[in-house]
Structure 1
């Protein structure tokens, strides 16, 4: 092999070695691991909590008879708007009208008896007053010797009889008046019972379900109509328990119905339910509409974003940099070209992927977001930034 051939061989060998070395450095395991990183920054965070819920009504009413009966007529159907006091339907009262007529007749009869007893009482009072006056007058005449003792005793006996008759008449009048009260109570009870056979709307609302038809026999308490008050519509929202901290009554929210995703509706947190779902580890938050849209249906799914109080002048990093290890939040930071794991305490998080850092990091520190290499990061691993956010 001459000199030129040897030179060509060594040049090619060196080039091959450089290519292999460059490949191993860039894509192999010899070079630093390539990472995407970001700086720790300071600013104002506008945290939110996101949840998914369903449209429901706070005020629901089950309208049905208070006693067993057969439905006679129904006047409304599901989807109808009704007014407070409006009759929605009637239950067959069977012989109730006849019983009301009998009760009314008994009331009128007792009132006549009471009037008769009143007249007898007035007569007894007059007779008693006369008898008592005569007894006093005859006693004075006896004292003056004008009449005999037998005549005085006769007048005194008449006065005692009149007094007894008055007492008996008073009792008879009171009994008659009690019969009037009893008959009136029975009559008004029958009238009220007739109202119980009327299915009446308790509020201005909307019928959302009609669960029986005319001719059906119902037991007491069985619902014929289900009503809601449309002014009390809200979204029962499920919030992850881990994100629930900071949610409070009165906070504003944005509601986007799945049936109309082009419109953002405003709402406020109206109730924090004390019960939760132990299976999904979620809490329930009821968000009412500020202005209820005209076209909305019970059971509609909705995306709800609750706005938490702003956090000013706070350190933050992208949420992607946070790794949860054994229940603790940690981040990988880059120092002098090497990766180190740090324990951090995080606060609120925003919908655009920012997380508040309470302790563990300083301004302008570099945190690793993604590791482009297949190998896992370890303490002191050499890294190289290939992109920064």
Structure 2
């Protein structure tokens, strides 16, 4: 009997198995660090201190994690419907445009809490619009969603550069960016939240978009597991033929799912555009759309798992920067290698330990 068909308890599938994969990734990373002449235990200590050792480091960790929560949710929603959206990067770019246009239009007239709902809608609408064409091509013409969303990443990046250089740039300035938003177009920092735990935020741009991201986790959970449309998504993702037999409209489900996925990716822009820099800049996404793929896979496409995986990558991003400063031999490229190993073992090889765990579990049950 194949081990792939054996059912395991959730605490093994969603707890023990990811932990084993993550442990192996860090063991191999430690060997790489040791081979270049550094102490791996000291490296782990410096990484954790840099990410979690003081209020400012925690603030940066949560700032990065906020980006990854949004993009992880974006990828997860599509996966539940059997779609692989690799276009979160481009959708986030366009989401930044939507949020920036709202902030530029309203920051002189409304306080931030009145501007924020319009900015959320603007970012989500722009991200969804950028996902619509690949979704329509998949649903109506059979074009593969992976190919079209990848291509739209490049088109979105090129479009943003054109707009910032030729349309939205501040007259007389060399930098391709919009003007700085007034206070009414900025999301406030969550320094009060850090102070509840006796910590100081410092220069970290940890802001209100983190709370929006957590709210979206609840919304996505409710959508996927507590609504009729969520059931239709999951049915399509598990068996397109069963979905067709049940009368679930393929084109409608694909298009709406991708609109939701693109909207979540677009909302990621709230964090760097309105929360951190208070203006729209080139390359503000910084690869978060692609990291979201790993975050979703590591989190088993569940909002709670996505939050935990996003925190892990936030720690790697922030702690890795501190580590490369304290240990010059461990460069930023080395940090990327460690991130890649985490993705490899927790994503691509996520079921590597499953056959052994199945045998151990079966022997334990028989005993």
Q: TM-score, normalised by structure 1?
A: 0.18
Structure with a larger share of its residues in strand: 1
**Which structure would you say has the larger RCO, counting Cα contacts within 8 Å and 6 or more residues apart?**
2
Higher-Rg structure is 1
Structure with a larger share of its residues in helix: 2
Q: TM-score, normalised by structure 2?
A: 0.19
